[in-house]
Amino acid sequence: MLSPPLDWVLPLIAAPFIGSFLSVLVVRLPKGEDIVVAPSHCRHCERQLTPLELVPLFSWVAQGGKCRGCGAAVDRLYPAIELAALVVAVWASFVVRGDVLLITVVLGWALLALAAMDLRDLILADALTLPLIPAGLTVAWWTDATLLPWHILGAAAGFALMVAAGWSYKALRGREGLGFGDAKLMAASGAWVGIEGIGSVLLYGAVLGLIVVLLLRLTGRNVDAATPIPLGAGIAAGLWLVWLYGPVVVGA
């Protein structure tokens, strides 16, 4: 059932604009570019974009997906994330109610940016990942302070689990297999869903990682043990699903 209009109207209106900002984060953070002062510009001709060219979704459609200055194709990442941010807000509105709805939408937007970043550049920026840890613990304390220790334990266990897995992989294979970004995101997952939820987050992440491998094979890509897989994107999706629907219960 959809949440009351007063709860979801504002997130839905804001979603495409938030998505536009998220797309900037996805493109600029991995490159170490400024995200505050530097104005939006064409990545090809460097021309500064006008306000009308920054209207989410509409401007991309009106311009035929091309820069008005040089005619170069505008990366489809931008409208895709703007639309995905809207989907996140609608999805959350059907599952969550009340004050938790806005928290859920903001979490979903952050995870969307991290997933897109990992799929695009195999990077999980600390600027997005690390704040999710104290944010998750704060939300846990706000919703039920008695469960806070389990969320702290979940954050520690999530981080330790991924670090141990990474060290084990390196010892067996002689090369890096998991980055600290994945470990930090698992710590954030534990902060949000507690110790009882990290197993489900990791399960979703592994399954979605396998799906990515299958899709790569279907598109003709040569996938082997050395092929980097965006596990962080799977973990982000897993955290979103567990936050919305709870941990996987075997036999339920």
- Same structural domain, 160 and 71: no
Tens of pLDDT, residue by residue over 130-183, are 999 999 999 999 999 999 999 999 999 999 998 887 787 666 666 665 678 899
Work out the pLDDT band at 127, boundaries 50, 70, 90: very high
Return d(Cα 43, Cα 114) in angstroms, integer: 21
For residue 51 the two structure tokens come to: 């306000």
**Boundary (domain end) residue, out of 121, 154, 185:** 121
3-state secondary structure of 199: helix
**What are the contacts of 145-149 at 24+ separation with CB within 8 A?**
147/194
Tens of pLDDT, residue by residue over 21-39, are 999 999 999 888 878 777 7
Range of the domain at 245: 124-252
- Same structural domain, 135 and 243: yes
- Same structural domain, 50 and 135: no
Q: What pLDDT, on a 0 to 100 scale, did the predictor assign at position 178? A: 67
The reported pTM is 0.90
In this structure, what are the phi and psi dihedrals at residue 102, rounded to the nearest 5 degrees? -65, -40
Whole-number mean pLDDT of the chain?
Answer: 86
- Single out the residue of 213, 221, 240, 226 nearest to residue 114, CA to CA: 240
**Boundary (domain end) residue, out of 70, 97, 121:** 121
Whether residue 49 contacts residue 39, with contact meaning beta carbons closer than 8 Å, is answered with yes
Tens of pLDDT, residue by residue over 84-119, are 999 999 999 999 988 899 999 999 999 999 999 998
